[in-house]
Amino acid sequence: MKKSNKQDKRQAENLLPWLIPIALIIVWQVAVDAKWIDATYVPSPLAVLEQGVTLWQAGTLQQNMGISLYRATMGLLIGGAVGFVLGVANGLSRISHALFNSTIQMVRNIPHLALIPLIIIWFGIGEPAKVTLVAIGVMFPIYINTLHGIQSIDPKLIEMGQSYRLTKWQMFTKVIFPGAMPTILMGLRYALGVMWTTLIVSETISASSGIGYMETNAQQFLDMPTIFLAIIIYAILGKVSDWIAALLESILLDWQASKGGR
Amino acid sequence: MKKRWQKVILVVLLFFWAGGTYYGYQQTTGSRDKLQKVTIGYQKGDPVDVSRSRGVLVKKMKELGYRVVFKEFADGASEMQALAAGSINYARTGDTPPVTAAASGTDIAYIAAGASRSSGSGILVQKDSDIDSVKALQGKKVAYTQSTSSQFLLLQALSKAGMSASDIEWVNMKQADAAIAFSKGDVDAWVTWDPYTAQGQVTQQAKLLTNGDGLSQNRDFILSTQQYAKKHEAVNEYLVKYLSEDMTWANEHPKALTKLLTKALGMKQTIVAKMVDRRDWTLTPMTKAIAKEEQTIADVFYENDLIKQRINVSDDVIYVSE
């Protein structure tokens, strides 16, 4: 079996994204081992990994990850659904748009941190408060992208649908929704990022579980390996959810000729 | 071919996502039952944390028809807010939070008190610091947390050394931030309590300038609101009874306790052992003498203009029958 030059080149390109993360980790390990940086403030990657294994064996790591995942997912489902419905309504109906859009845009720009006191008073300090905060964060990117996707559909396509005498429902499922899909998926991809950032904020509200709690708890005891571990877990979770969104894009947008080359 | 693989990967990832979410859901809710919920706020390494880790209290309360839920807080001041908001029914704090909360009009009920923790609370300075007495703190930056026992201890230490409150620079921060500020040398001293004191002493070889002996008893208190406690007298009694049983166990089994807390706190065993060695574990109903100690704190705070109104602690005490 002789590989062609082209294949070799492609494999090399596939490895390229990993180059910087791996190099960073090696430099980091070496720098700590050689005592260029103080291990009390920056533990080595191996120490972080060891801490991960210890916490996994104690059962706390998977428990906290599961709880974080639950809060994030519930927030995404609720916020995503609300954002999507509002986006569709405002995209299709001129009256609904006039009524709601400027209010939503106003609320959108409130920093999440500013909402924490309100959320504690309204929803207490339990799970609903955390899920609500994530839902609020996730809602806006989905809303904006759904709205934008629907608004920017080629009017010629709609005209064509009308000449085929499509019913309103057919028009939505055959023309508008598929047309808006690329933008909606982009919104989802962005929302997944927002989901994790909002989650860590929400997990500082008197939480006693979750990755965010694990990190703030470790801060109290200057437990640097756990702090780094939590940060790395967030990075990995973020990467995986982005990967899921990219896969969804690639599968659902199969019909788009421009994506064919990927 | 490539599309098919993408679909397989996507399905696998979504499967794990859903599985993880379901697992997390189970972790957050526990069993759904008809038991009456009792929420207790606590802090790391305190008597309630011992009972929580030991698990006996939860079991016994369950038999009596109560589901006990624990919520962790960073300091007593935050617990008092949660208590006032009704998010928790009971709180375990040090000696100062109930005083400042009562002065700001919060409904407070003292239910039970613990032993003195004076040897585990104190003022820490860095290991190579040239501060060798409380007097030497003159003009220095001292980290403390407002409305917690650290504030009272520092006030008492200063007055004992013949200084006034304005002789030092008070830096109010959460204990978590104070730990970092202290380790980096951003503050000259840090007034704190165990397990933070032990943590500083063991990991940074910090020196204990003075502990709380003769300054502040820094007892543990179990608090509730008058509104809740008067309606739930049975819960008050059960809690005091089982907490005090757990404390008796803790006193008799220091080794097992150290092991339990090491796991619960996620700290080094040497730190936990230091903390366990220098304190007693008890929890008893309130007494007149202890109420008087609290009155002293209230008076000192009033004289120093830290609270706006004079309060009468004995109005807030509920004497639980043993």
pLDDT band at B34 (very low <50, low <70, confident <90, very high): low
Is B205 at the interface with chain A, CB within 8 A? no
B20 part of contact set with chain A, CB < 8 Å:
yes
B172 contacts B179 by C-beta, under 8 angstroms: no
Same domain? B47 vs B105: yes
List of chain A residues with pLDDT < 50: 1, 259-262
Residues B197, B237: one domain? Answer: no
Residue of chain A whose alpha carbon sits nearest to that of B182: A222
Which among B171, B190, B211 is the end of a domain? B211
Q: Is residue B9 situated within a structural domain?
A: no
| Pairing mode of beta strands B109-114, B207-211 | unpaired
| Residues near A42 by beta carbon (within 8 Å), at least 6 away in sequence | A28, A32, A224, A228
CB contact under 8 A, B21 and A220: no
B37 to chain A, any CB pair closer than 8 A? The answer is no
> Count of CB contacts below 8 A, A vs B?
96
Instruction: Kindly report, residue by residue over B253-265, the tens digit of the pLDDT.
Output: 888 888 888 888 8
For position B215, what pLDDT does the model report?
83
* A134 and A72 Cβ atoms separated by less than 8 Å: yes
Domain A47-254 classification at class level: mainly alpha
Q: Do B234 and B201 belong to one domain?
A: no
Give a yes or no: residue B101 inside a domain: yes
Residues of chain A contacting residue B20, judged by C-beta atoms under 8 Å apart: 65-66, 69-70
Q: State residue A146's pLDDT score.
A: 93
Domain tally for chain B? 2
pLDDT of residue B23: 86
B204 & B234 share domain: no
Q: Which residue of A has its CA nearest to B23?
A: A66
Q: Is residue B262 part of a domain?
A: yes
User: CATH number of the domain that B134 lies in?
Assistant: 3.40.190.10
Whether complex ipTM tops 0.85: no
Q: Given this model, what pLDDT does residue A87 score?
A: 93
Query: Is B8 among the domain residues?
Result: no
Best mutation target among B10, B29, B193 (most A Cβ atoms within 10 Å) is B10
Domain ranges of chain A: 47-254
Residues B143 and B190 in one domain: yes
Residues of chain A neighbouring B27 (CB-CB closer than 8 A): 63, 66-67, 70, 209
If you count them, how many residues does chain B have? Answer: 322
B312 and B164 in a common domain: no
Alpha-carbon gap: B33 to the closest alpha carbon of chain A (Å): 18
Give the CA radius of gyration of chain B: 22
Do residue A247 and residue B24 have CB atoms under 8 angstroms apart?
A: no
Give the tens place of pLDDT for each residue, B93-146: 988 888 888 888 888 899 988 888 888 889 999 888 888 888 888 888 899 988
- Of A247, A87, A78, A104, whose CA–CA distance to A176 is shortest? A87
Q: Are B103 and B227 members of one domain?
A: yes
Q: Are residues B224 and B105 in the same domain?
A: yes
What is the number of other CB atoms lying within 10 angstroms of the CB of residue B139? 9
B171 and B223, same domain (yes or no):
no
Q: Tokens for B267?
A: 């700290």
Q: What is the DSSP letter of A209?
A: S
Q: Nearest residue of A to residue B11 by CA position?
A: A244
pLDDT score recorded for residue A221? 67
Q: Nearest by CB to B25, from A70, A126, A240: name it.
A: A70
Task: Name every chain A residue with its beta carbon within 8 A of the beta carbon of B82.
Answer: 125, 206
Spatial neighbors of A212 by CB under 8 A, at least 6 apart, are A68, A199, A200, A201, A202, A203, A204, A230
Q: Which residues of A touch B (CB under 8 A)?
A: 58, 60, 62-63, 65-71, 73-74, 120-121, 124-127, 206, 208-209, 216-223, 226, 240, 243-244, 247-248, 250-251, 254
pLDDT of A262 = 39
Q: How confident is the model at residue B86, as a pLDDT? A: 78
One domain for residues B80 and B225 = yes
Domain membership of residue B297 (yes or no) is no
Looking at the partner chain, which of A124, A206, A250 has a beta carbon nearest the beta carbon of B73?
A: A206
Distance from the first to the final alpha carbon of chain B = 75
Cα A262 to Cα A247: distance, rounded to the nearest angstrom: 11
Asked if residue B21 belongs to a domain, the reply is no
Q: Do residue A219 and residue B180 have CB atoms under 8 angstroms apart?
A: yes
Could you say which DSSP state residue A222 is in?
Answer: T
In terms of CA atoms, which chain A residue is nearest residue B183?
A222
Which residue among B13, B71, B203 places its CB closest to the CB of A244? Answer: B13
Tens digits of residue pLDDT in B171-218: 888 888 888 888 888 898 999 988 889 988 888 888 888 888 888 888
Same domain for B205 and B149, yes or no, is yes
pLDDT at A259: 43
Nearest CA in chain A to B73: A206
Within-domain flag for B311: yes
In chain B, whose CA is at the least distance from the CA of A51?
A: B266
Residue A222: both structure tokens together:
């200057």
Q: Which of B195, B211, B227 is the last residue of a domain?
A: B211
Do A125 and B23 count as a contact with CB atoms less than 8 A apart?
Answer: no
Q: Which residues of B touch A252 (CB under 8 A)?
A: none
Residues B192 and B158 in one domain: yes
Q: Which residue of A has its CA nearest to B14?
A: A244
**Residue B295 in domain:** no
Which residues of chain A neighbour B85 with C-beta distances below 8 Å?
120-121, 124
- pLDDT for residue B314 is more than 90: no
**Distance between CA atoms of residues B63 and A145, nearest Å:** 53
pLDDT for the residue numbered A80: 94
Range of the domain at B136: 119-211
